[in-house]
Amino acid sequence: MELSKNFIPASVEGKWNKHWQQKGYFNSKPDNRPAFTVVIPPPNVTGVLHMGHTLNETVQDILVRKARMSGFNACWVPGSDHASIATEAKVVQMLDKEKGIKKADLSREEFLKYAFEWKEKYGGIIYNQIERLGCSVDWSRVTFTMDDHYYKAVINVFVDLYNKGLIYRGARMINWDPAAKTALSDEEVEYKDLQGKLYHVKYDLVSADGKNIGCITIATQRPETIMGDTAICVNPNDERYTKLKGAFAVVPLINRRIPIIFDEYVDPSFGTGALKVTPAHDINDYNLGLKHNLEVVDTLNEDGTLSAAAQIYVGEDRFKARKKIIAELTEKGFLVKEEEYQTRLGYSQRTGVVVEPRISTQWFLKMKELAEPALKAVVDGDIRIHPGDKFLATYKYWLENVKDWCISRQLWWGQQIPAWYSPDGTCVVAATREEAFMLFETQWSAGGDQFNDQLTSSPFTINDIKQDEDVLDTWFSSWLWPSEVFNGISDPGNAEVKYYYPTSVLVTGQDIIFFWVARMVMAGLEYEKQIPFKDVYFTGMVRDKQGRKMSKSLGNSPDLLELIDKYGADAVRFGIMISSPAGNDLLFDESSLEQGSFFNNKIWNALKLVKMWEARIDNSNSGDNSTFAISWFESRLNEVKTEVDSLMKQFRLSEALKTIYSLIWDDFCSWYLEWAKPGFEQPINDSVYQKTIAFFTDLLHLLHPYMPFVTEEIYHLLEERNEDLCVKQFAPISKVDKAILAKGNLLKDSITAVRDARNKAQLKPKETIELSIQSNEQSAYSDITELLSKQVNAKSFAFATDAVAQSINVVVGKDKFYLVTETPLNTGHQKEELEKELEYQKGFLASVEKKLSNERFVQNAKPEVVEFERKKKADAEDKIKVIEESLRAI
């Protein structure tokens, strides 16, 4: 068949995706093979995959494909997360724009109907992207965190933890998102350092009987909250304010009297030494308020506008109100001054708005008891973190400083909290309405006089009880992911969860170590009594060329499908992996995708070259010239297989790809094919051709986990196959002949040095030379002199005992090469080149000697590292000696 000039990804990607799925290669059922299980970190159903997802899914696919080809029963479970806050915001926006419907005008059931319709319409976009990327997931196992079995599992876990005393309900200061109108956990708040302003505001002071006794200045960053002030606090040891005992301050603009209180919490040296206390809007103020029994005045509505309690600018947005309040304070003489101030503000990860501290009644999960075994599992090494030196400390910090988790959200999209309230406000927790009513009946039967012993009917009916309006935090469902994708919670101990759990490796982003990773460990140990995964591989953050995190708001995140259309999925996978060592951030640049595309074409051109040989097979040709090439590449291939296997076990996937890339581009395409190919219009020996096909097949096999489409296509074009590459098992790795590898390196160095000398002497490619080598180890050149002569176009070869007159001198290691040519020599140029090389070698030697003279290095470095440096020193000294001899000869 006629092959295209270049590899065309679009012509093969859809074909192989369809073929693999029709064959069911990626569908997994328990059998007698060891399981290799990976669960996809479920992306939000709201949107599309960004480059961080692309990196994450590619890493997972590499590991899964490698495991599948290594004899494991690989099971990769895809799915998506319902993403309560983000999805509800999208649905609300869609209803408003497209249908003119406000959420407030709908019942909960009506809204959820629209939400599920939206999910069905847009949820498949992500799955299409995962498929286009070539991910070998088991599509029969797609899981969504709002599936019926999953929903029930989440509810059952809530009930269980409540019955264990780990879940409670109470009024506490929480983080409030005014845009989403819901509570957030501490971990859902991102803090940013900003340049803000500090406003110094004058408060009038009055005595207990109402007489004016002066004023006090208070510094605040948030003038819009002063209407919620319920005290002024000073340090009892601050002599400036001891006379204010029993006095009051007057809140500016609203003229409300508030007490002066004393507490050592206040730092007398900071600012004016006086602090306004606003219990409703600051966690520290809230704690002071509890201690001193202060009133709580909440001046903000749930949407961030000023409430009726603020008395002024009611209904105004908090930041617009700030400007108006500053203007009024200035106008009425209360604003003393304002100054620039370095501050830190918390932003909602979900909506990007400034978070408000707020007193709110919420549901909380006690975390300390769950965190201790999760911390121990990692510290003891039961779970291995990669790279551990970078992220182990972060994991430990989170769990050693864990706080109770606010798990309720004021939304409709999500698992509704299974708490039920009677008409008098009594609360019970149960999975269903029926179970809740039974609990109420149990209370009545045990209630004695409270319910009247003669009561013959219930005080209320089952329809009178109301379910809690809130839903659970999205992470409260996703922490069950490794277990519940196999129905481990909803059907404990089933055959699948026994076979696939614990999973093999979790691949995820470093930004959700506590959000998700640590919590999954907690849930796994609590409900499966074992860890959820054995290894955790943290990918780095994908950033643009300016170092910025990629985001939709900045518009710096490329569209994945557009990149695949432009470069092909293999090139995208190559580009994202070649520059992403484990855990390190990477600067995304499309040039790396271009490099992947060039690599595709390099392999494609190698295919075309080998297919050209197919018509020239001739068994009469002994192929002697190729004997060394075959032996050398066989050892080189096995050397790389061993190295790649080791690198992948260490999760050094980027380094493994670079090693494979170099093997294919340099060793196979640039060297082996050149050494093995027949002369112009000459036949090729069948054994050489078959060996070349075998080598090419092994290379495709090695590369397949990284670049599945181009490798599968070329694998089938090389020769007719009865087996697809994606399920072809890796063979045992053969031994490596170190001696032949050394000869191969010598041959490459010799060819490179002689070709470089020819170019500098401006010899035409067709112009032959006479080649002589002066070496103390002539045996090192056995088996390679014929290939060397062929590659440098030498018409004769000989070993020399002395310098050859009228020749071009070349130094290779400790040996001297002499090139005799009919072209007149420019000895001045030769001398100049040798002097440059001598200067370089002397500088290199000096740097090595400096390192070896450092006693700390010699004492602390590994013995093999020190020995390697000493070898470098000896080699440099030998080379300097040879160059100096060559210069004297010239």
SS3 213: strand
Mean pLDDT of each 10-residue bin along the chain, 890 residues long: 91 96 97 97 82 92 98 97 89 92 94 93 88 96 96 98 96 90 84 91 93 93 94 94 94 96 91 90 90 94 95 96 96 94 87 90 95 94 85 87 92 97 93 94 69 56 94 96 97 96 93 88 97 93 81 74 96 93 79 96 96 84 73 97 95 95 97 90 89 97 98 97 96 93 96 91 90 93 93 94 87 91 71 81 88 84 84 82 74
Beta-carbon contacts of 309 under 8 Å, excluding residues fewer than 6 positions away, are: 227, 228, 297, 298, 299
The CATH architecture that domain 566-736 belongs to is: Orthogonal Bundle (1.10)
pLDDT at residue number 620: 63
CA distance 365 to 164: 11
Q: Is residue 545 packed enough to be buried (19+ CB in 10 Å), middle (13-18) or exposed (0-12)?
A: exposed
pLDDT at residue number 690: 94
Assigned token pair, 481: 């992911």
Asked if residue 879 belongs to a known ligand binding site, the reply is no
pLDDT at residue number 235: 95
pLDDT at residue number 581: 74
- Name which of 44, 114, 101, 84 is nearest 177 in CA terms: 84
Q: Is residue 613 a contact partner of residue 685, using CB atoms and an 8 Å limit?
A: no
> Running DSSP on this structure, what letter comes out for residue 848?
H
- In the chain, how many H helices and how many E strands? 28, 29
CA distance 72 to 508: 22
Q: Is residue 319 a contact partner of residue 225, using CB atoms and an 8 Å limit?
A: no
SS3 274: strand
CA distance 746 to 813: 9
How crowded is residue 769: how many other Cβ atoms within 10 Å of its Cβ?
25
CA distance 476 to 158: 9
CA distance 127 to 129: 5
Residue with tokens 């109301």: 466
Q: The whole model's pTM is what? A: 0.84
**What are the backbone dihedrals phi and psi of residue 143, each rounded to the nearest 5 degrees, phi first?**
-125, 140
pLDDT at residue number 454: 45
Q: Which residues in the chain are classed under CATH 1.10.730.10?
A: 566-736
Assigned token pair, 105: 């005008």
pLDDT at residue number 799: 95
pLDDT at residue number 326: 96
How crowded is residue 34: how many other Cβ atoms within 10 Å of its Cβ?
12
Q: What is the CA radius of gyration of the chain?
A: 37
Residue with tokens 């899981």: 143
Tell the CATH superfamily of the 182-358 domain.
Valyl/Leucyl/Isoleucyl-tRNA synthetase, editing domain (3.90.740.10)
H helix intervals, 796-862: 827-852, 855-860
- Name which of 734, 733, 735, 726 is nearest 67 in CA terms: 726
> Running DSSP on this structure, what letter comes out for residue 241?
S
CA distance 812 to 434: 87
Q: What is the dihedral of CA 842, 843, 847, 850, to 10 degrees?
A: 60
Q: Which residues in the chain are classed under CATH 3.90.740.10?
A: 182-358
